[in-house]
Structure 1
C-alpha cells in the first residue's frame, strides 16, 4: 500500500488578528477534505508562527489550538522578520513530516492549489514553487520595483524564481539540507534554489486580502532586496573595482590632456568643468563606500553567531493531543 504523506502547512503571521480566525476555518475545511479523501495523512497539521505580534494574534491562536487538534502555534520572543519566521516554523516541524507547504496567514496565496502541490511532490519533486499568474492587485510602483529586483538578481548571477513569493512546498530532503544553512543574512528565495534537488513550478492566482494591510512595507522590501543581493553575490564589489580601473585610466587621459594644453599656453576656462567631476567622483566614492559597508556589516553580524530567533511559547498538537 502506498504511503500517505504527512503534510504540514506553515504560516508566519504578524498582527493578523483581523483574518486569523477566518484563515483557520478555511484551512480546517481544506485539510479535513484532504484527509477524508486520503490525499494526506491524518497526522498532517497546520502550524502558525507568531512573529512577535503586538495585537491579539497570539491569544486568538491559543484559542484556535486548544479547540482544534489540527492546529499548532509557536510564538517568537521578538519580531524577527518574515524570513526568520518561515525558517522557525519549518525547522520546528522538519522531523515530523514528509513535506512542508509555506504560505501567508492572510491566505492571499490560493489554498485551492495545495492539492496540486501535493500531487507534484508525489511525482518526485522535492521542491515546488508557487508562481503568481498575475500581479494585478499590486500597484504599478511595486510591480516595477519587483521586476527590477528580479532582473538585477539575474544580472548578478543569483538564481531566483520570478514572481515567486514564499508559497512553496519543501520535501524532507530539502528541509534537512536547508537546516545546514546557518547564515544570519537570510534570503530563502535565493537559498532554496541553490540547494538543488528536483523541482518544478505551479501557477496560482493570488487572492485579495480580506482585511488589514500587507505587512511588507517599502522599507521591508528594500531590506529583503539588500539581503538577497549581499547574501548571494560579490559582483557589486567587483563592479567597484572595475569602475575604479576605468576612472583611473580616464584620469591619466585627462592628465595628458592638461599637460598638452599647458604646453600650448592654453587654458581650461569654466567653473563647470572643475566642479562637475568633483561631484561625480565624490558621489561614486560615497556609493562605493556604502556598498563595501553593507558587506562589512553582514560579515560583522555573521561572525557573532547570534541565534536567528528565539521561541517564547509553543503549542504543538501531536496525534490529537494538546500541549
Structure 2
C-alpha cells in the first residue's frame, strides 16, 4: 500500500547502505536510533519510523550485526542484497523497499561523517512543504588541499557537462513518498542518484552541515571510484561529450584542410622538404584524438548495451525477521 504523506508526524525511514562496516556500525547504529527516538519525542515524526540498513553483499560480519540490532530493537530493520552491487544500487534498494511503508526517507552513509543532527532541519523543511531536502556540506576545512580541489572540481565538471547536481551534495537527502513514487519510474540501470533526483522536480531546499571524520574503518570511495562515479554521472545524464567530440572533429578537419591546401601550394612552388618528425607528430596527434573519441563513444554504446538488457538493479536475498517485503519482484 502506498504511504499517504503526513506533513506533521510523518513516518520516517532512514536508509543506510552498508558494505563491510563491521567496525563502524556498532558505533553509529545507536546514534541513528537515538535520532529517531528524539524526533518522535519532539512530535516531528511518527514512532513507527525505522532505521533501514541495506547490506550490500558485505564479506565481514555486517549482516550478522544488522540481525543482532533488529533482534534488540524493532526500530532496526534490514535487507540484504544477493551480491555486492555498489553504493548507488544499495541506496536505491533501500529507497524502493521503503517507499510504500513511509512518508519520507533520509538516505545517509553509516560511517558517521554526515551530521545526523541535520535531519532535524530536513524534517522541518518537509513539514514546511518541501518534498526533497539536500544535505550540503557547509565547508571543507578538514579536507586536504588535494581532496578539496578534486571534490569541488568534480561538481563543477558535472555541471559543466550537463549533469544537474547540487554543489557539495552527495547522497545525504530527504525524499517524500510522492517523490519516491515518481522516482521509481526512472528505470536506468546506470545509476547516478545525485544527478537523477533533481530531474524528478518538486519543491526542494538545502540544509547545510559540517562533515566529520569517519568514526572507524576505511573509506570505500577512494579517488579511483570518485573518478569512475564522475564519468558515470556525465555519460549517464549528458550527451555534451559527444557534442564536444563533434565540434572538436570539425575543428581538426578544418585545420587539416588548411594544412592540405598549404601542402599543395608548397608542392606547386617546389618548396617541399621531407620531414619525418613533423609527419610522425601529426600522425600521433590524430591517432590519439581518434582513440579518445572512440573511447568516449564506446562508453555511451556500452551504457546503451547495458540499458537494453533491462537487468534488475538490485536483488534482495534476505531480510531481518521484522521486515516483510512489500513487493514480490525486485527492481
Q: Deviations over 1:214-254 (max 9, x none)?
A: 11122321221121011111111111111111111111111
> Tell me, what secondary structure is at the counterpart of 2:294?
helix
Distance 1:276 1:81 in 2: 42
Alignment of 1:240-259 (within 5 A): 240-259=245-264
Q: Does 2:281 correspond to 1:276? A: yes
Q: Does 2:95 correspond to 1:70? A: no
Post-superposition shift, 1:308?
Answer: 0.9
Q: Deviations over 1:198-222 (max 9, x none)?
A: 0000100101111111111223212
Q: Does 2:144 correspond to 1:131? A: no
Please tell me whether the aligned partners of residues 70 and 317 of structure 1 are also in contact (alpha carbons under 8 angstroms): no
Change (3 A) 1:2 1:104: closer
Post-superposition shift, 1:139?
Answer: 3.1
Q: Which residue does the alignment assign to 1:308? A: 313
Alignment of 1:45-60 (within 5 A): 45-60=50-65
Q: Which residue does the alignment assign to 2:328? A: none
Post-superposition shift, 1:316?
Answer: 6.1
Q: Does 2:216 correspond to 1:211? A: yes
Q: Which residue does the alignment assign to 1:81? A: 86
Q: Which range moves more in the overlay, 137-146 or 7-16?
A: 137-146
Post-superposition shift, 1:269?
Answer: 4.8
> Tell me, what secondary structure is at the counterpart of 1:74?
strand
Post-superposition shift, 1:82?
Answer: 0.5
Distance 1:97 1:60 in 2: 24
- TM-score computed with the length of structure 2 as normaliser: 0.93
Q: Deviations over 1:79-121 (max 9, x none)?
A: 1011000000010010111100010111211011111110001
Q: Which residue does the alignment assign to 2:33? A: 28
Change (3 A) 1:163 1:140: same
Distance 1:56 1:136 in 2: 34
Q: Which range moves more in the overlay, 36-45 or 54-63?
A: 36-45
Q: Deviations over 1:111-139 (max 9, x none)?
A: 11111110001110000000001223333
Post-superposition shift, 1:156?
Answer: 1.9
Distance 2:173 2:208 in 1: 11
- After superposition, the CA RMSD in angstroms is 1.6
Post-superposition shift, 1:159?
Answer: 1.1
Distance 2:88 2:206 in 1: 20
Q: Which residue does the alignment assign to 2:167? A: 162
Q: Which range moves more in the overlay, 310-319 or 264-273?
A: 310-319
Distance 2:122 2:137 in 1: 14
Q: How many residues align?
A: 319
> Tell me, what secondary structure is at the counterpart of 2:205?
strand
Change (3 A) 1:2 1:264: closer
> Tell me, what secondary structure is at the counterpart of 2:293?
helix
Post-superposition shift, 1:291?
Answer: 0.2
> Tell me, what secondary structure is at the counterpart of 1:107?
coil
- TM-score computed with the length of structure 1 as normaliser: 0.95
Q: Deviations over 1:34-53 (max 9, x none)?
A: 21222210111100001000
In structure 2, runs of 5+ residues without a counterpart are: 1-5, 325-331
Distance 2:267 2:306 in 1: 52
Match of 1:179 among 176, 184, 194: 184
Q: Does 2:236 correspond to 1:231? A: yes
Q: Does 2:136 correspond to 1:116? A: no
